[in-house]
């Protein structure tokens, strides 16, 4: 778990914090090694059945406890499936899915960081007020015009992902002339916007599988180190995604070995956070990485 050295001093300017620190609840949280984010899907239709814990606090408790005991320092809770072609969910239904889970985890594991996977400002606000710590937005503010101001008001870390369109249309928006340059430019523009609003704790996510073809996903992964030029933490979420199952001609249920291989590659090329379904195996990967690079 992250060391918590106590309250940080007030930040005077609008620059982003160092990539190995985050400020949460007035505490400056730092880490020197990559971290694991365990996925808790509170949806009935997320693409990997093993991550689903919908409509049951008993399932949430079991999955969250397993993730934590296996080495996750962050839990990422989502009440809206963002897989290609996923069904629309109302704001209230998303809130009803995530809030009880947040409250249970915050009550039973107060030292664990809780991230909420949402692109809606109202859900983000309710989540933070219920005990969550981080907002993980697949649209980086593009799908809800109130999101960036809300995150700024809440003074919480913001995970900004690259995507085009929305979960229903993104796979039709994969035409790039220079995909790496365009994504880096996208983040540069977003970071300037965040800076103006006063958001200083930002994590970037290249958005594997979101508005990208199979070949584009692997091109971005090969060039992951280029994102270090932004001097911010890099989150990589490739766990059991179609970029693995399609390349190996298998289904998501059989994609653990491929996930492990690509997670090690991502760590070796600059990933600071791995977002994963299988925390035990990811933690073993991380331990071997730390042995290679002590």
Among the residues of 212-278, which ranges form H helices? 214-222, 242-248, 256-268
How far apart (Å, rounded) are the C-alpha atoms in residues 55 and 205? 28
Q: Are 62 and 105 contacting, i.e. CB atoms less than 8 angstroms apart?
A: no
Q: How far apart are CA 222 and CA 180, in angstroms?
A: 11
Q: Computed from CA positions of residues 169, 170, 171, 175, in that sequence, does the dihedral angle turn out positive or negative?
A: positive
Cα separation, 21 vs 36, in Å, equals: 15
- What is the number of alpha carbons within 13 Å of residue 33 lying toward its C-beta? 18
| Residue in 155, 195, 241, 287 annotated catalytic | 241
Residue 241 annotated to the active site: yes
Q: Which of 17, 164, 190, 275 is catalytic?
A: 275
Catalytic residues: 241, 275
């Amino acid at each position: 778990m992250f060391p918590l050295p106590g309250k940080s001093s007030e930040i005077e300017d609008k620059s982003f914090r160092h990539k190995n620190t985050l400020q949460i609840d007035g505490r400056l949280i730092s880490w020197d090694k990559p971290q694991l984010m365990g996925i808790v899907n509170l949806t009935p239709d997320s693409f990997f059945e093993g991550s689903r814990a919908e409509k049951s606090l008993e399932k949430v408790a079991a999955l969250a406890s397993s993730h934590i005991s296996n080495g996750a320092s962050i839990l990422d809770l989502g009440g809206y499936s963002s897989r290609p072609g996923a069904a629309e969910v109302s704001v209230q239904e998303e809130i009803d899915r995530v809030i009880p889970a947040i409250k249970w985890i915050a009550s039973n594991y107060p030292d664990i960081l809780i991230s909420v996977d949402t692109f809606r400002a109202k859900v983000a606000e309710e989540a933070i007020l219920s005990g969550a710590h981080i907002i993980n937005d697949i649209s980086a503010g593009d799908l809800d015009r109130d999101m960036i101001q809300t995150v700024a008001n809440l003074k919480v870390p913001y995970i900004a992902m690259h995507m085009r369109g929305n979960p229903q249309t993104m796979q039709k928006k994969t035409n790039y002339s220079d995909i790496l340059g365009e994504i880096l430019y996208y983040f540069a523009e977003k970071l300037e916007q965040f800076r103006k609003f006063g958001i200083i704790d930002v994590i970037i996510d290249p958005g594997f599988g979101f508005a990208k073809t199979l070949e584009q996903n692997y091109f971005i992964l090969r060039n992951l180190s280029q994102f270090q030029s932004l001097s911010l933490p890099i989150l990589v979420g490739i766990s059991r995604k179609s970029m693995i199952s399609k390349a190996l001609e298998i289904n998501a249920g059989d994609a653990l070995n491929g996930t492990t291989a690509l997670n090690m590659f991502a760590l070796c090329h600059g990933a600071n956070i791995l977002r994963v379904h299988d925390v035990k195996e990811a933690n073993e990967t991380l331990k071997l990485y730390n042995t290679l690079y002590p």
